[in-house]
A and B are shown apart, each in its own frame.
Chain A
Amino acid sequence: MEELDSEPTVTLIPGVNSQKKQMCFDWGPGEMLVCETSFNKKEKSDMVPGCPFIHIIRKNEDVYSQILRKLFNESHGIFVGLQRLEEELTGKSRKTQLVRVSKNYRSVIRACLEEMHQLAIAGKDPAIGRQFSIQVSSLSAMELIWNLCEILFIEVAPAGPLLLHLLDWVQLHVCEVDSLSADVLGSENPSKHERFWNLPGNTQTLTELELKWQHWHEECERHLQDGTFASSPHLESLCKVMLGDEAALLEQKGLLSTWYHFLVTRLLYSHPTVKPTDLHFYAQSSLDLFLGGESSPEPLDNILMAAFEFDIHQVIKECSIALSNWWFVAHLTDLLDHCKLLQSHNLYFGSNMREFLLLEYASGLFAHHSLWQLGVDYFDHCPELGRVSLELHIERIPLSTEQKALKVLRVCEQRQMTEQVRSICKILAMKAVRNNRLGSALSWSIRAKDAAFATLVSDRFLRDYCERGCFSDLDLIDNLGPAMMLSDRLTFLGKYREFHRLYGEKRFVDAASLLLSLMTSQIAPRSFWMTLLTDALPLLEQKQVIFSAEQTYELMRCLEDLTSERPVRGEPDAQQLQDDDVETTKVEMLRLALARNLARSIIKEGSLEGS
């Protein structure tokens, strides 16, 4: 495909003097920041800040329009349906379906158009009305182009029906065509015309039609040559019109608002069985005749002409610039691609035009706080770069509420986007920790499968417990399940809480052996052993013997390990422990309790075995 030269769009930034200053900028996910600056650090002369404003630049305005959002929402459903159509149907029923899809798209445009039009005429402010009517004009151009593409590329109407479709097309899009045709048709011999125009019916072949039409045409010509209508100039010009005389038609240019209206009229009277392949010839000459060198073709003319030439790529290219609206080109291209009409062009990154346009459209949707959800499905149907684009976009969605975060996570989880899931959960875990919401932080870090962070949050829980003597978020900790295995510290937290539950339920023996195992299996951090041993104290003081002799030895070993290593390691905790009278007393109390329990357990075990 050859490139057309294009001029970039210019966006004016108020208050910035580009003659003297430069701009610094930054990209955001959906917006850009621009601010006046001066990069040349040597020129310090102009110390007065010029424009003290930061400007927020948005790329895509369409997504902020309420009415166009309906267009996006509705067409999204059609798009998704079309992607499913792919495997199901073949042959004729497939074509019928594709035509139906095309009509659905057009009906959405038309509904939008009508709503926009209502707003345009309802508004009191003429400036707003003008804005809307520009959009109306743009939407109606889209529908006009789409309709023609539907006839030529999707219906693929053959000679005969082709003209019927084109008549419908002109009639639908040229408002005054009804009155015009009434004008023309009304005054001629209607029976003659109608009889002709019921063709080609089911009973007649195209050749028969052509013969009959030829006959009728010759008859008209004879009448004209014989001067049958010489007395009446009006009738004579009418007859010329019916013969498809170009000059006579052009005299009525005022009634034919556009060149394509002229084209269809001309075909109707001179080449009713025009073949699709000949269309471009008549289209070009109609355009030339109609413009008559007075003006040059405009973008819409070029688009329609490209369609008449069956140059689909040119249609899409021209539409891309003229409409500058990704919605139109993305959906039309996708539909034409489903019609197997696009040769695969090998593109940058190995992508193709359909995907290129869908990616652009979907990226635009992601700039919006809720339309991004539609964008996800478009990315899903871009086999080359859809996935990676979705990954880059979705992690940027602001996680303003938990509900929104869950929505984003669901999208990622459905697509096994593990890194994005991890990152989002991590962001939320970090946010929760900073706000001291430990329960939330823990559940997000479990979901992120972030062992280090789970350890960190578990430590916070344990620290809080040591300070306050109770746990928060019991529900969460009691129901950790297998998630407990994520990190040793989390396992410890869960098990330690389980100890408290057993203790509360007065299942002292179970509680005691769990407590001991926490130390002997090294799950409990050393810094926490003193707390655990202190927890053992009431169990040691129970009336019945709970810790066996062997268990008591283990406990004693743990205590001695802890107290003997303290001076060596010299940790602040240990130092504090040693210095602290309370702690010293605690150790002595523990030793006493352990010794007493050992004595009791030996006696108990001895007497049990003896009996």
Chain B
Amino acid sequence: MFVARSIAADHKDLIHDVSFDFHGRRMATCSSDQSVKVWDKSESGDWHCTASWKTHSGSVWRVTWAHPEFGQVLASCSFDRTAAVWEEIVGESNDKLRGQSHWVKRTTLVDSRTSVTDVKFAPKHMGLMLATCSADGIVRIYEAPDVMNLSQWSLQHEISCKLSCSCISWNPSSSRAHSPMIAVGSDDSSPNAMAKVQIFEYNENTRKYAKAETLLTVTDPVHDIAFAPNLGRSFHILAIATKDVRIFTLKPVRKELTSSGGPTKFEIHIVAQFDNHNSQVWRVSWNITGTVLASSGDDGCVRLWKANYMDNWKCTGILKGNGSPVNGSSQQGNSNPSLGSNIPNLQNSLNGSSAGRYFFPPLDSPRAGSRWSSYAQLLPPPPPPPPPLIEHSCDADTASLQYPHPRRRSLSRPLNPLPENEGV
């Protein structure tokens, strides 16, 4: 892991959410300054802000992208009790010339009477649907029946959760075996120890969402919740951010064993629980294959969790603030990650990127006198006691470099110059 770029966000207040689009070529940020900004990645890899506009009359908590099958569409939710849907308009040659794009508000969803705390688009196989949840304890599901007319959204479902809602997550499974499902978390902090995570499932017969499960063991305020990508499994994986990070599996009990027609029942198991953030955990999110979970907590760190092939979950990486200001005011950071000077750890260059740090203890970065570093076999090996590595760097004494004897190099066939696999 390394910081490839740092981009000056230029928001006038706290940023609450950052969001990549489906392909990772665009991102959106939202802030207490009531605005949303959209950023585009150029061919050269630079990021440019292509739109910035006032979206709400309160702090904007969350911003999220619809699947590109529905065009370029964003949803935002705010303290101002509304959620809004935005669409990018193509054309406007003046804007294009200035490298700016134009976003128009397609709808304002005003049903909530309190702050709208989360907004999520449904999995694309369900069509263009949107769920919001709010501090008044209601999850609302909206649908745009005509994907070419995003100004018409109809409120399809209102699910009362009885508790102030903080977060929602759609189950991404598109398997026919799984009905649409949404998990809701509550950050209600009143002393009554009620379960804070509820799971609702859509019933084809009643055409309504009904409560399928309540995670009884989760009684502390929940700040975020995330279903993992399904990978063709029969069961579901759900991550929860509460006073710690928890990972649950939800295994559907076979239908014939349950009363027919009712919601699916699940066998629920906790498979991991980590209190490494010391206090509250605020965000959890899965990578695109659901193999790594990232969590963010009160310790100011983002931690990465991964199950090895023994189904044993471990922290494999930590992103931590270094507390010092970003160098200079240049808005783009390293353009050459391999050689950049602000790579925190030299080891990252080849033998230390976090990729492999998974099963085992870390290797110290090559240090002076380390035998590891002296295994640079093409370099003159250090006589004992080994002098500092620096004296053995390659410019030290090139004359003494010995390549293996030619007769030993029979296996070292010359490498054909490869045409670079460029320009896909």
Contact = CB atoms under 8 A, between A and B. Distances in A.
A567 interface: no
B231 interface: yes
A175 B378 CA distance: 7
A399 B223 CA distance: 35
Contact of A55 (B6, B311, B356): B6
Interface stretch (A5-13, A232-240, A521-529): A5-13
Interface in A156-188: 168, 171-176, 178
20 contacts: A8-B354, A10-B319, A15-B326, A22-B282, A23-B319, A24-B18, A32-B294, A35-B29, A38-B14, A49-B14, A57-B319, A74-B415, A175-B377, A175-B404, A253-B384, A257-B374, A324-B363, A349-B231, A396-B24, A396-B288
Nearest to A10: B318
Contact of A17 (B39, B317, B323): B323
Interface in A36-67: 36-40, 47, 49, 51-62, 64-65
Contacts of B383: 254
Interface string A308-332: 0000000001101111111001000
B71 interface: yes
A456 B15 CA distance: 39
Interface residues of A, number: 159
Max chain A C-beta neighbours (<10 A), residue from B3, B283, B370: B3
Contacts of B315: 8
Contacts of A246: none
B378 to A, nearest CB: 5
Interface string B285-318: 1111101001011111111100111111011111
Given A6-B362, A113-B378, A121-B394, A25 B302 contact: yes
B346 A131 contact: yes
A356 interface: yes
Given A12-B322, A14-B3, A111-B415, A175 B381 contact: yes
A87 interface: no
B309 A21 contact: no
A40 B341 CA distance: 34
B275 interface: no
A11 B314 contact: no
B104 to A, nearest CB: 13
A347 interface: yes
Given A64-B338, A317-B359, A392-B229, A35 B18 contact: yes
Contact of B6 (A15, A24, A32, A431): A15
Interface stretch (B176-184, B207-215, B258-266, B405-413): B405-413
Contacts of A178: 402, 405
Given A134-B373, A254-B383, A423-B69, 20 more contacts: A18-B321, A24-B16, A25-B283, A29-B20, A30-B24, A32-B319, A35-B15, A35-B29, A37-B14, A52-B10, A52-B11, A56-B7, A62-B355, A107-B415, A111-B412, A121-B401, A137-B351, A321-B363, A353-B309, A370-B421
A326 B355 contact: yes
B424 interface: yes
Contact of B310 (A298, A347, A369): A347
Contacts of A17: 300, 321, 323
Contacts, number: 485
B56 to A, nearest CB: 15
B357 A6 contact: yes
How many residues of B sit at the interface, in one of the four size bands? 35 or more
Nearest to B290: A392
Interface in B358-414: 358-363, 366, 370-384, 390, 393-395, 398, 401-405, 408-409, 411-414
Contacts of A133: 376, 379, 393-394
B375 A324 contact: no
Nearest to A64: B337
A120 B23 contact: no
Given A64-B338, A317-B360, A349-B233, A29 B288 contact: yes
Nearest to A115: B415
Nearest to A9: B354
Given A52-B9, A134-B351, A348 B3 contact: no
9 closest pairs, A vs B, by CB? A18-B300, A16-B321, A321-B360, A347-B309, A28-B24, A324-B356, A137-B376, A28-B20, A111-B415
A300 interface: yes
Contacts of B2: 11, 57-58, 61
Given A6-B358, A26-B20, A370-B422, A111 B414 contact: yes
B360 A318 contact: yes
A404 B424 contact: yes
A59 B323 contact: no
B423 interface: yes
A36 B15 contact: yes
A392 B338 contact: no
Contacts of B394: 117, 120-121, 129, 132-133, 136
A296 to B, nearest CB: 10
Given A12-B322, A61-B348, A435-B90, A7 B361 contact: yes
Contact of A61 (B9, B353, B393, B418): B353
A25 B296 contact: yes
Max chain A C-beta neighbours (<10 A), residue from B12, B309, B366: B309
B289 A27 contact: no
Max chain A C-beta neighbours (<10 A), residue from B229, B351, B423: B351
A6 B9 contact: no
B253 interface: no
B97 interface: no
Contact of B321 (A13, A129, A253, A301): A13
B102 interface: no
B320 interface: yes
A483 interface: no
Given A74-B418, A168-B408, A347-B310, A27 B229 contact: no
Contact of B24 (A29, A329, A435): A29
A3 B23 contact: no
Given A39-B280, A298-B370, A11 B317 contact: yes
Given A178-B402, A349-B231, A399-B23, A54 B355 contact: no
A16 B317 contact: no
Contacts of B393: 120, 126, 129-130, 133
A507 interface: no
Nearest to A59: B1
A423 B124 contact: yes
B406 to A, nearest CB: 12
A52 B29 CA distance: 12
Contacts of A132: 394
Contacts of A3: 308, 310, 312, 359
B191 interface: no
A172 B301 CA distance: 45
Contacts of A130: 346, 390, 393
